[in-house]
Amino acid sequence: MTQIDRALSWLLGGRKPAASHLLLAPASLWLIFLLVIPAGGLIILSFAKNGPYGAIVWEFGLHNYARAFDPKYLPVLLRTLGFAGATTVLCLVLGYPLAYFLTFRAGRWRNALLVGLMVPFWSSCLVAYYSWMIVLGKEGLINTALLRAGFLSAPIGFLYTPFAILLGLVYFYLPFTVLPLYASLEKMPRSVVEAAYDLGAGRWTAFLKITLPLSLPGVVAGCVLTFIPCLGDFLTVEILGGPRYYLLGNLISNQFMMAQDWPFGSALTSLLLAGLVGGLWLYQRWEKA
Amino acid sequence: MAVYCAALFGFLYLPLGVMCVFSFNDARRNVVWRGFTLKWYKALFHDAELMSAMLTSLELAATAAVIAAILGMLASYAMVKHKPFRARGAYDALLNVPLMMPEVALGVGILTFLVRAGYELDFTALACSHALICLPYTVAAVRARLISLQESSLEDAAMDLGATEWQAFVKVTLPLAMPAIISGALLSFTVSFQDFVTSFFVAGIGIVTMPIKIYSMMKFGVTPEINALSVCLLLATFLLIGLNAAFAVRPDEASRH
On whether both B146 and B252 belong to a single domain, the answer is yes
Q: Are residues B27 and B150 in the same domain?
A: no
CA distances for B83 relative to A20, A21, A27, A204, B79, angstroms: 9, 12, 19, 50, 8
Q: Does residue A51 fall inside a structural domain? A: no
Helix (H, G, I), strand (E, B) or coil at B257: coil
What are B33-47's pLDDT values in tens digits? 888 989 899 988 898
Residue B251 has pLDDT above 90, yes or no: no
Beta-strand relationship, A56-57 and A49-50:
antiparallel
The answer as to whether B105 is a domain residue is yes
Domain ranges, residue A173: 64-288
Residues A35 and A152 in one domain: no
How close, in Å, is residue B151 to chain A by CA atoms?
Answer: 17
Provide Rg for chain B, Cα atoms: 22
Tell me which residue in B5, B29, B166 faces A98 most closely, judged by beta carbons.
B5
- Residue B42 placed within a domain: no
Name the residue of chain A whose CA is nearest to B76's CA. Answer: A24
Q: For residue B98, what is the nearest residue in chain A, using CA coordinates?
A: A35
Chain B: nearest CA to A163, how far in angstroms?
Answer: 15
Residue A11 Cα distances to A1, A4, B142, B166, B184, angstroms: 15, 11, 18, 9, 23
Q: Residue B254 pLDDT > 50, yes or no?
A: no
- Pair (B171, B211) in one structural domain: yes
Residues whose CB falls within 8 Å of the CB of residue B247, separated by 6 or more in sequence, listed in order: B179, B180, B182, B183, B186
Query: Where are the alpha helices (H) located in chain A, listed in sequence order?
Result: 3-13, 17-31, 37-45, 63-68, 74-100, 110-122, 125-136, 141-149, 162-187, 190-198, 203-206, 212-214, 216-231, 235-236, 248-257, 262-288
Q: What is the mean pLDDT of residues B219-233?
A: 85
User: Which of B1, B14, B74, B104 should one mutate to test binding to chain A, selecting the residue with the greatest count of A CBs within 10 A?
Assistant: B104
3-state secondary structure of B36: strand
Report residue A50: phi and psi, to 5°: -90, 125
Please indicate, yes or no, whether residues B13 and B100 belong to a single structural domain of this protein. Answer: no
Return the closest-CA partner of residue A230 out of A188, A275, A261, A266. Answer: A275
Structural domain tally of chain A? 2
How far from chain centre, in Å, is Cα B137? Answer: 8
B222 touches chain A (CB under 8 A): yes
In this predicted structure, what is the pLDDT of residue B250? 57
Residues A22 and A87 in one domain: no
CA distance B229 to B101: 29
Q: Which residues of chain A does B75 touch, with a Cβ-Cβ cutoff of 8 Å?
A: 23-24, 26-27
| Shared-domain flag, residues B126 and B247 | yes
Query: In whole numbers, what is the pLDDT of chain A averaged over residues?
Result: 91
CA–CA dist A6, A15 (Å, integer): 13
Chain B contacts of A141, Cβ < 8 Å?
18, 31
- Looking at the fold, whether B14 and B108 belong to one and the same domain comes out as no
With contacts defined as CB-CB under 8 Å, which chain A residues touch B165?
Answer: 8-10, 12-13
Q: Which residue of A has its CA nearest to B217?
A: A130
SS3 A36: helix
Contact B85 A37 (CB under 8 A): no
Q: Cβ contact (<8 Å) for A115 and B233?
A: no
Q: Quick check: B109 and A133 CB within 8 A? A: no
The CATH number for A185's domain is: 1.10.3720.10
In a domain, B232, yes or no: yes
List Cβ neighbours of A151 (8 Å cut-off, separation of 6 or more). none
Partner residue facing A131 (CB), from B16, B103, B129: B16
Residue B156 lies in a domain: yes
The answer to whether residue B209 sits within a structural domain is yes
Contact A38 B81 (CB under 8 A): no
Residue type, B225: E
Look at residue B130 and tell me whether its pLDDT is greater than 90.
yes
- A169 in Cβ contact with A233 (< 8 Å): yes
Q: Phi and psi (nearest 5°) for A57? A: -105, 125
Looking at the structure, tell me whether residues A130 and A271 fall in a common domain.
yes
Instruction: Categorize the per-residue pLDDT at B57 as very low, low, confident or very high, splitting at 50, 70 and 90.
Output: very high
Residue A53 falls inside a structural domain: no
Sign of CA dihedral A29, A31, A33, A34: positive
- A28-32, A283-287, B238-242: which has the highest mean pLDDT? A28-32
Q: Say if residue B256's pLDDT is above 50.
A: no
Same domain, A216 and A86: yes
- A55 belongs to a structural domain: no
Q: Does B100 contact A at CB distance below 8 Å?
A: yes
Residues B178 and B232 in one domain: yes
Distance CA A4, CA B75 (A): 21
Q: What is the pLDDT of residue A137?
A: 86
**CA–CA distance, A274 with A156 (Å, rounded to integer):** 39
For chain B, the domain total comes to: 2
**Min CA distance, B23 vs chain A (Å)?**
11
Return the CATH number at B236: 1.10.3720.10
For residues A31 and A92, state if they share a domain.
Answer: no
Does any domain span residue B93? Answer: yes
**Chain B residue with the nearest C-alpha to that of A247:** B104
Closest to B188 (Cα-Cα) out of B132, B248, B247: B132
Say whether both A36 and A126 belong to one domain.
no
Are A30 and B83 a contacting pair at CB < 8 A?
A: no
Q: Residue A233, exposed/middle/buried by CB under 10 A (0-12, 13-18, 19+)? A: buried
Predicted local confidence at residue B85, as pLDDT: 86
| Pair B28, B98 in one domain | no
Q: How many angstroms separate the CA atoms of A278 and B226, rounded?
A: 40
Chain A interface mutation, best of B112, B156, B217, B238, highest count of A Cβ atoms under 10 Å: B112
Tell me, yes or no, whether B29 and B52 share the same domain.
no
| CB-count exposure of residue B46 (10 Å: 0-12, 13-18, 19+) | exposed
How far CA A35 is from CA of A20, A245, A260, B60, B120, in Å, comes to 21, 29, 22, 20, 18
> Do residues A25 and A72 share a domain?
no
Residue type, B219: K
CB atoms within 10 A of CB A275: 20
B148 lies in some domain:
yes
Helix (H, G, I), strand (E, B) or coil at A234: coil
Digit-coded pLDDT (tens) for A219-246: 999 999 999 999 999 999 999 998 889 9
Check whether residue B85 and residue B194 sit in a common domain.
yes
Of the partner residues B75, B106, B111, the one whose CB lies closest to the CB of residue A24: B75
CB atoms closer than 10 angstroms to residue B87: 13
Which DSSP letter does residue A105 get? I
Instruction: Decide if B245 touches A, using CB distance below 8 A.
Output: yes
Q: Which residues of A touch B116 (CB under 8 A)?
A: 41
Range of the domain at B6: 1-37
B95 to A144: CB separation less than 8 angstroms, yes or no = no
The answer to whether residue B227 is domain-embedded is yes
Is the same domain home to B29 and B104? Answer: no
Residues A85, A177 within the same domain: yes
Contact B108, A256 (CB under 8 A): yes
Residue type (1 letter), B20: C
User: Are B16 and B95 part of one and the same domain?
Assistant: no
**Highest mean pLDDT, choosing among A139-148, A196-205, A273-282, B14-23:** A273-282
Q: Which residues of B touch A120 (CB under 8 A)?
A: 12-13, 16
Phi and psi torsions of A38, nearest 5°: -60, -40
Is pLDDT of B247 > 80?
no
Specify whether A98 is located in the same domain as A128.
Answer: yes
Portion 33-62 of B in contact with A at CB < 8 A: none
Burial of A221 (0-12, 13-18, 19+ CB in 10 A): buried
* Domain shared by A13 and A117, yes or no: no
A31 and A68 assigned to the same domain: no
Q: Looking at the structure, tell me whether residues A149 and A236 fall in a common domain.
A: yes
**pLDDT at residue A162 tops 70:** yes
User: Shortest CA distance to B68 belongs to which of B211, B182, B210, B158?
Assistant: B182
**A274 to chain B nearest CA, in Å?**
11
User: Which residues numbered 110-169 in B keep a CB inside 8 Å of some CB on A?
Assistant: 110-113, 116, 128-129, 131-132, 135, 139, 164-167, 169
Name the band, by pLDDT with cuts 50, 70 and 90, for residue A216: very high
Choose among A10, A24, A137: nearest Cβ to B78. A24
Kindly give the residue spans of alpha helices, DSSP state H, lying in chain B: 2-22, 39-45, 48-81, 88-100, 103-116, 123-152, 154-160, 165-168, 174-194, 197-202, 210-218, 224-247
Is position A231 within any domain? yes
Nearest CA in chain B to A4: B166
Phi and psi torsions of A103, nearest 5°:
-75, -50
pLDDT band at A54 (very low <50, low <70, confident <90, very high): confident
Q: Measure B32 CA to nearest chain A CA, in Å.
A: 8
Name which of B22, B32, B106, B166 to mutate to probe chain A: the one with the most chain A Cβ atoms within 10 A of its Cβ. Answer: B166
* Residue B252 pLDDT: 47
Residue A176 and residue A247 in contact, taking contact as beta carbons nearer than 8 Å:
no
At residue A45 the predicted structure's pLDDT band, cuts being 50, 70 and 90, is: very high
Contact B104 A249 (CB under 8 A): yes
